[in-house]
Structure 1
Amino acid sequence: MTKKLEPVVTADELPSSTQVVVIGGGIVGVAAALSLAERNIPVVLLEKGHIAGEQSSRNLGWIRKTSRHAADVPMAQAADRLWKDMPERVGRSVGYREAGILFLAKTEEQMAMHEDWHKSVAPLSLDSKLLSPTEIDRLVPGGKGDWVGGIHTPSDGYAEPALATSAMAEAAVKKGATLIQHCAVRTLSRSGGKVSGVVTEKGEIKCEQVLLAGGAWSRRFLGNLGVSLPTLPLICSVLRTKPMQGPTDTAVGGPNFSFRKHQDGGYIITQRGKLDAPFMLDHLLVGHRYLDQLRTQRSFLNIGFGKPFFRDLAMKRRWKSTQVTPFEQVRTNDPAPNMRLNQDALNNLKAAWPAFDEAQIEEAWAGLLDVTPDSNPVIDHIESIPGLTIATGFSGHGFGTGPAAGQLAADLVAGDAPLIDPTPYRFGRL
């Protein structure tokens, strides 16, 4: 976890009742709590560890429309508007910059993928533009890469994950939300077939609605309720350099590296061409739903079998409300970074932009992504459990769309007109 993560001071006392309980203190859960509080809807957010302790502080900070599924672009567009207004909304900076994002193509095949995506989103009137090698050199000078071309979206940008969720959480508290850390939710209480509360390690809270925004933990929580959510884990390793002179403020994604400027003057870098895929029991249970992804993306995955499998196998998949749960046993998913992949990313970047020859690694971390079969999240009611809504499975894309995803989830919980059409995120599609 990045040592830059800003801690949040929250309440300790568990209220006896509220209208809505949000499970999970990542960016989506916090954004939902903020949105509900702004509507004067009583809301309590419960986090088993600490706010933004997992992927919400471990991601790259990118806020992009580029290369998203066409059906997911409206969410990204809504998020753009919310990110622009966020400093005023929460009363402080979240490190947001509309500095653009550029994706590079090394081969004609890669360029064809950018061209196909550009055509698919033409009706959405984005400012994305296909670039020639000469235009890439003008945008990001000093490069030595032999690029076929690229695609650039000037209205894309980034924010600081170590600040954003914490700032939103503090704003939610000021607007009336109750946030409690180090309090795991064990299960739901039900009355007459409907949600009537949540049972936590510290006691029960009565409520009318529950929003589950538990990230990679959502599958296990739902499984204990008899609901199967197909998600599998991937691990992304990241490094941050010490302050240095770089070629651009634009975020750049190459086939085997990516970088973007950090507000402290360094760069956030990752190996964009490789992710670690630890083999788990869930691969045997739901892996068949990912065969299409595996055929097209196998070269991007470091599939390994080892200690993570046995640690996961040892954790309960069924429990009673009186029993200690996996959420209490593991407060924070904290995978070790793969320094070989990090160094590979840095070497690839140096070859493309020699300005990074002088880069020095300040810190490194890794984050666990919860990936769905189509890489789109689920934001929907669970019909079999009236009163339960979920917002999860963001597949590594959740930070950028987090404010919009949280607001959409809050809309569904409150029964208000949705921010965007929620159809692409229905649970039934899976």
Structure 2
Amino acid sequence: MSGPQVDTVAPTDQLPAEAEVVIVGGGIIGTSTALFLAQRGVSVVLCEKGHIAGEQSSRNWGWVRKTRRDPREIPLVIESLRLWERMNETVEAETGFRTTGILFAAETDEDVTRCETWLDYARPYQLDARLISGAELDALMPGASKMWKAALYSASDGRAEPQKAAPAVALAARRAGAVILTDCAVRGVERTGGRISAAVTERGTIRCKSLVVAGGAWSRRFVSDLGLRLPQLKVRASVARTAPLDGVPETALWCKDAAFRKRLDGGYNIADGFANVAPITPDSFRFFNDFLPVMKMDWEALKLRLDSRFVQEWREAAPVPLDQTSPYEKVRVLDPKPDSRFTRGAVASLARRFPAFNNARIVQEWAGMIDVMPDVVPVISAVDEVPGLVIATGFSGHGFGIGPGAGRLVADIVMGTSPIVDPTPFRFSRFTDGSRPQPVSGI
């Protein structure tokens, strides 16, 4: 198996003895955090156990959207889109960002009601999202043999290239003064008086004042070694990439059996818009009650599977002494096998609706592990129990589009400055303060 080809970030060999901040994880969240900290003159070291954007940050659909976001995320994604709109200029490189619009199809009256419910949530933010139908919908989806009842559409949403974006941000962070280390796993931390005082990597120790865990699907295991309970599970999502294809709409589309968006190379990323595989692991039982509300809500979309991950995660769960090889070194990149049945089915479904997709040639398929929280909202938060620790994880499939804004918010939290948005909805303590966090229903 092999994931998508990601732009290369050349390794740095020298391990700094100290830094103000160490970041664990080189995805879009970690690299964005490094960039915003370095731009403020903070000494920062980013440690990635594999290569930059090796996991879900390069394996997602590439959507950058406000539409159909959880209402708690809307303020942050608004700020993130503002950052995306000038990202190529900021990082002095091509990230693939383009404002091309995103459309969510509504096939039934119930779907239309769900769209209207979301618009009610979004109305205070004065977004440009709206319901469209008829000739306006036809114009956005040219060549469709059958049209939907309506669609939720935002012209200001866009797309970017996951295989380019985080590497470009990482290189910009390096130019701003950050140290970017690849093939350098952080095995754990040292604490002095309960506070983070060092990151212990496979290459040696880096003294630091703060540590940011932006490890995606690995974050739960990392913080569990600190005695913290983070109710996070993994969901496997698969994507197909086509060769360049003519006659397909520019506007990205989601419907219940397929989703697509145009790539910078003229091809398309295609996925099943309504199928995700949830591997059954020991954590599935550990966090069963936490995830019961979302399971009830999205039962049709979750495909439970018992596979090799159960034994693998059971074996790697125990703490490992910091002077021994960690699980992060044994598995540099999570590279699960894609579910071709879903991706090929999505292509076939699109071909039935858009004749141009009959000419689609799949040149690659891949899968990635999405880090999911019980309320489908990320944790972006300092942790009171471990001073100096900041967690940024659980983006639940929304991390790529929200990444720059999340990185900016993490930088604000680390520095103790006025946050770009109110971080309260993303607090770690919501899982222990009696809030009983749940996903928003009806959207």
Which residue is 1:324 aligned to?
A: 325
Which residue is 2:434 aligned to?
A: none
Which residue is 1:172 aligned to?
A: 173
1:200-349 alignment to 2 at 5 Å?
200-349=201-350
Give 1:2 deviation, angstroms. 4.3
Opposite residue 365 of structure 1, the aligned amino acid is W
Opposite residue 88 of structure 2, the aligned amino acid is P
Give 1:379 deviation, angstroms. 0.4
- Looking at structure 1, the residues matched to 4 and 228 of structure 2 have their Cα atoms a distance apart, in angstroms, of 36
- Looking at structure 2, the residues matched to 356 and 172 of structure 1 have their Cα atoms a distance apart, in angstroms, of 39
Show structure 1 runs of 4+ deviating over 2 A.
Answer: 1-4
Which residue is 2:396 aligned to?
A: 395
Q: Check conservation: 2:102, 2:157, Cα contact below 8 A.
A: yes
Opposite residue 133 of structure 2, the aligned amino acid is S
- Looking at structure 2, the residues matched to 379 and 34 of structure 1 have their Cα atoms a distance apart, in angstroms, of 17
- Looking at structure 2, the residues matched to 409 and 260 of structure 1 have their Cα atoms a distance apart, in angstroms, of 29
Give 1:146 deviation, angstroms. 4.2
CA RMSD of the aligned region, Å?
A: 1.0
Alignment partner of 1:143: what SS?
coil
Give 1:321 deviation, angstroms. 1.5
Give 1:69 deviation, angstroms. 1.2
Which residue is 2:100 aligned to?
A: 99
Give 1:350 deviation, angstroms. 1.0
Opposite residue 98 of structure 1, the aligned amino acid is T
Give 1:319 deviation, angstroms. 2.1
Residue 118 (1) aligns with residue 139 (2): no
Q: Check conservation: 1:237, 1:342, Cα contact below 8 A.
A: yes
Q: Check conservation: 1:223, 1:317, Cα contact below 8 A.
A: no
Opposite residue 104 of structure 1, the aligned amino acid is A
Which residue is 1:8 aligned to?
A: 9
Alignment partner of 2:402: what SS?
helix
Q: Check conservation: 2:190, 2:198, Cα contact below 8 A.
A: yes
- Looking at structure 1, the residues matched to 396 and 116 of structure 2 have their Cα atoms a distance apart, in angstroms, of 23
Which residue is 1:199 aligned to?
A: 200
For structure 1, which segment, 4-13 or 389-398, has the greater mean C-alpha deviation from structure 2 after superposition? 4-13
Opposite residue 73 of structure 1, the aligned amino acid is I
Q: Check conservation: 2:138, 2:147, Cα contact below 8 A.
A: no
- Looking at structure 2, the residues matched to 99 and 255 of structure 1 have their Cα atoms a distance apart, in angstroms, of 21
Which residue is 1:162 aligned to?
A: 163
Cα 1:429/1:133, change in 2 over 3 Å:
farther
For structure 1, which segment, 142-151 or 77-86, has the greater mean C-alpha deviation from structure 2 after superposition? 142-151
Opposite residue 74 of structure 2, the aligned amino acid is V
Give 1:316 deviation, angstroms. 3.2
- Looking at structure 2, the residues matched to 29 and 76 of structure 1 have their Cα atoms a distance apart, in angstroms, of 17
Give 1:246 deviation, angstroms. 3.1
Deviations 1:19-61 (CA, angstroms, capped at 9, x unpaired): 1101110110000000010001000000111110000000011
- Looking at structure 1, the residues matched to 337 and 218 of structure 2 have their Cα atoms a distance apart, in angstroms, of 18
Give 1:135 deviation, angstroms. 2.2
Q: Structure 2 length normalisation: TM-score? A: 0.95
Opposite residue 181 of structure 1, the aligned amino acid is T
Alignment partner of 2:73: what SS?
helix
Q: Check conservation: 1:2, 1:162, Cα contact below 8 A.
A: no
Alignment partner of 1:357: what SS?
helix
Give 1:247 deviation, angstroms. 2.6
Alignment partner of 1:71: what SS?
coil
Opposite residue 158 of structure 2, the aligned amino acid is G
Residue 57 (1) aligns with residue 31 (2): no
What is the aligned length?
430
Deviations 1:251-307 (CA, angstroms, capped at 9, x unpaired): 111111000101111110000111111111100101211111111211111111122
- Looking at structure 1, the residues matched to 424 and 4 of structure 2 have their Cα atoms a distance apart, in angstroms, of 38
- Looking at structure 2, the residues matched to 85 and 50 of structure 1 have their Cα atoms a distance apart, in angstroms, of 25
1:60-99 alignment to 2 at 5 Å?
60-99=61-100
- Looking at structure 2, the residues matched to 342 and 369 of structure 1 have their Cα atoms a distance apart, in angstroms, of 17
Opposite residue 303 of structure 2, the aligned amino acid is N
Deviations 1:289-341 (CA, angstroms, capped at 9, x unpaired): 11111112111111111222112222133222122211111111100111111
Give 1:10 deviation, angstroms. 2.6
- Looking at structure 1, the residues matched to 165 and 6 of structure 2 have their Cα atoms a distance apart, in angstroms, of 9
Q: Check conservation: 1:220, 1:317, Cα contact below 8 A.
A: no
- Looking at structure 2, the residues matched to 71 and 391 of structure 1 have their Cα atoms a distance apart, in angstroms, of 16
Opposite residue 123 of structure 2, the aligned amino acid is A
Which residue is 1:43 aligned to?
A: 44
Which residue is 2:387 aligned to?
A: 386
Could you list the runs of 5+ residues in structure 2 that have no partner in the other structure?
432-443
For structure 1, which segment, 111-120 or 315-324, has the greater mean C-alpha deviation from structure 2 after superposition? 315-324
Cα 1:3/1:233, change in 2 over 3 Å:
closer
Which residue is 1:360 aligned to?
A: 361
Q: Check conservation: 2:4, 2:366, Cα contact below 8 A.
A: no
Opposite residue 13 of structure 2, the aligned amino acid is D
Q: Structure 1 length normalisation: TM-score? A: 0.98
- Looking at structure 2, the residues matched to 117 and 229 of structure 1 have their Cα atoms a distance apart, in angstroms, of 28
- Looking at structure 1, the residues matched to 155 and 109 of structure 2 have their Cα atoms a distance apart, in angstroms, of 23
Deviations 1:221-243 (CA, angstroms, capped at 9, x unpaired): 01111001011110110001111
Deviations 1:70-117 (CA, angstroms, capped at 9, x unpaired): 121111100111001111111111110000000001111111101110
Residue 350 (1) aligns with residue 360 (2): no
- Looking at structure 2, the residues matched to 246 and 308 of structure 1 have their Cα atoms a distance apart, in angstroms, of 40
